[in-house]
Chain A
Amino acid sequence: MSKRTRSDSPLGRMSGPTFPSPAAEMAEINRLQYEMEYTEGISQRMRVPEKLKVAPPTASLEQSIQEGLPNASVTMQVPERIVVAGNSEDIPFSRPPDLDLLQSTPFKPLALKTPPRVISLSERPLDFLDLEKPPPQTPQNEEVRSVGRLKRERSMSENAARQNGQLVRNDSISGLSNLDVTIEGTPDDMTVVDAASLRRQIIKLNRRLQLLEEENKERAKREMIIKRWVRAYLEQQRLLAPPARRSEKPNWDYHMEIRAFSHRLHENFSLDLLKTAFVNSCYINSETIRRQNLELDKEVVALNLQDNRKLSEQGLSFSRSYLVRCFEEAYPQLPPAGILALIDFLTTEDVASYVAKNLSIQDLTLCAEFPVPSDVLHRTFFAVIGALLGSSGPQKTGIFVQDFLIPQLIGKDLFEIWKSINPMGLLVEELAKKNISAPEPRLTRKSGASTVLPVYFVGLYCDKKMIAEGPGETLLAAEEEAARVALRKLYGYTENRRPWDYSKPRRDLGVEKAINSN
Chain B
Amino acid sequence: MASYSRAAQQWATFARSWFLIDGRMQPPGKIAALTVVRLEGRHKPVYHALSDCGDHVVIINTRHIAFSGNKWEQKVYSSHSGYPGGFKQLTAVQLHQKDPTAIVKQAIYGMLPKNLHRRTMMQRLHLFPEDVIPENIQKNLLEELPQPRQIPKRLDEYTQEEIDAFPRVWNPPQDYHMK
Contacts and interface: CB of A to CB of B under 8 A. Distances in A.
Contact of A447 (B2, B4, B142): B142
B18 A447 contact: yes
A448 B12 CA distance: 12
B165 to A, nearest CB: 38
Contact of B5 (A413, A451, A454, A455): A413
A457 B4 CA distance: 12
Main secondary structure of the interface of A (DSSP, over half): mixed
Nearest to A457: B12
Interface stretch (A364-372, A435-443, A469-477): A469-477
Given A413-B5, A485-B3, A472 B11 contact: yes
Interface string B21-55: 00000000000000000000000000000000000
A446 interface: yes
Contacts of B142: 445-448
B2 A485 contact: yes
Interface residues on B, range: 20 to 34
A449 interface: yes
Contact of B16 (A447, A457, A494, A495): A447
Contact of B136 (A450, A481, A485, A494): A450
A448 B140 contact: yes
B11 to A, nearest CB: 6
A343 to B, nearest CB: 22
Interface residues of A, number: 28
Contacts of A450: 136-137, 139-140
Contacts of A477: 8
A485 B15 contact: no
Contacts of B3: 485, 488-489, 494-496
Main secondary structure of the interface of B (DSSP, over half): mixed
B8 A470 contact: yes
Contact of B12 (A416, A455, A494, A495): A455
Contact of A469 (B2, B15, B140): B2
B5 A448 contact: no
B11 A415 contact: no
Contacts of B16: 447-448, 451, 453
Contacts of A447: 15-18, 140-142
A451 B138 CA distance: 12
A504 to B, nearest CB: 24
A471 B140 contact: no
B179 interface: no
A516 B140 CA distance: 64
A429 B8 CA distance: 24
Contact of A481 (B5, B137, B143): B5
B2 A449 contact: no
A448 B8 contact: no
Contacts of B5: 413, 415-416, 481, 484
B6 interface: yes
B19 to A, nearest CB: 9
Nearest to B2: A485
Nearest to A447: B142
Contacts of A413: 5-6
Nearest to B138: A450
A472 B17 CA distance: 14
Contacts of A455: 11-12, 15
Most chain-B CB neighbours within 10 Å: which of A416, A446, A494?
A446
A469 B12 CA distance: 12
Interface in A352-368: none
Interface string B96-139: 00000000000000000000000000000000000000001101
A471 B11 contact: yes
Contacts of B56: 448
Interface string A401-415: 000000000000101
Interface string B140-168: 11110000000000000000000000000
A275 B1 CA distance: 48
A473 B137 CA distance: 18
Contacts of A485: 2-4
Contacts of B18: 447-448
Interface string A292-303: 000000000000
A446 B141 CA distance: 8
A484 B5 CA distance: 8
A489 B2 CA distance: 10
Interface in A479-510: 481, 484-485, 488-489, 494-496
B3 to A, nearest CB: 4
A167 to B, nearest CB: 59
Nearest to A469: B2
Most chain-A CB neighbours within 10 Å: which of B3, B16, B141?
B3
A454 B11 CA distance: 9
Given A453-B15, A495-B3, A471 B8 contact: yes
B11 A470 contact: no
Contacts of B15: 447-448, 453-455, 471
Given A449-B139, A471-B4, A471-B8, 11 more contacts: A415-B5, A447-B16, A448-B16, A448-B17, A448-B18, A449-B140, A451-B140, A455-B11, A470-B8, A485-B4, A488-B3
Interface of A: 413, 415-416, 445-451, 453-455, 457, 469-473, 477, 481, 484-485, 488-489, 494-496
List 8 A-B pairs, minimum CB-CB distance, nearest first: A455-B15, A471-B12, A447-B142, A494-B3, A450-B136, A449-B139, A481-B8, A488-B3
11 contacts: A415-B5, A447-B15, A447-B140, A448-B18, A448-B140, A450-B137, A471-B4, A471-B9, A484-B5, A494-B2, A495-B3
Interface of B: 1-6, 8-9, 11-12, 15-18, 56, 136-137, 139-143
